[in-house]
Structure 1
Amino acid sequence: MKYMLIMRATDESFAAFADVDFDQIVETMGRFNNEMIQAGVLVAAEGLADASEGVVVDYSSETPVVTDGPYGETKELFGGFWILDVASREEAVEWAKRAPMTGPGVKAEIRRVTSIDELPQDNEWIQKERAWREATGQL
């Protein structure tokens, strides 16, 4: 099963790491990523650019409204994610407990990634997506 570990932090917890040397951050994250690679569970991992570079598309009105970042309220921001292929939610939790660069205000949200196999296979659009995934080596 695949699980996404979504790293969330507050403005304050981001600020707490502002003085940490970038090379140290890369090494710390790299060591953790390497542990997951060696264990055969890491599928993908990416950090996200600063929220001030993002936009929000709000679908509350008939015409979607686009707002430049940072987000209106920054209680918690996504900082990055890992996608793990593990046997259970509990195993994903155990990896999340070991994540580096954590502390007060930092949280990991763990969500199962649904598989295309869980969707109705007789659906035309699912069949098209399956064909695309096969053609691009994703199945």
Structure 2
Amino acid sequence: MAGVGTPGGGQLGAVVDDGGASVRIDVPVDLAHLGEARNRLVDAARSWGFSEHEELAVVVSELITNAIRHSGEASAVEARLVGPGRVEVAVSDHGPGVPAPVDPYEQRTRGHGLRIVDALAASWGVRPSATDGKTVWALLDAGDAEVRSG
């Protein structure tokens, strides 16, 4: 895959679009690229007719940030339309361990990202990689967002 960054930084990878409702981007270990990666994924989802742009932007930001902070390596982020009004976001990295939400009563300034993902996504989880690392995914459902806000 072209564009994978090095641990010291690098360039945001090229958008790999399969011509349908799926896009993948390699994100280097540099949070400076987070906004551009998020915007590319949101723009792709918008082109598929997905309406919950704000929720998608927050979930993408949280998942990429977690991957970079905890793995210390480049990560790959993929978004795909899985049904009408339903987008799955998946961020893969080679870091060890399985992420889990922190206790909401702990007085910490960091570590609450998965609680945010849990609140915004219809569902989320972790898939182990076939080689090493894992993929953290979240399913966003535009209909589910309407129920939460209504």
TM-score interval, smaller chain: 0.3 to 0.5
TM-score (norm: length of structure 1): 0.34
- Determine which structure has greater relative contact order: mean sequence separation of CA pairs < 8 Å that are 6+ residues apart, divided by chain length: 1
Larger of the two Rg values belongs to structure: 1
Alignment TM-score, normalising by the size of structure 2: 0.32
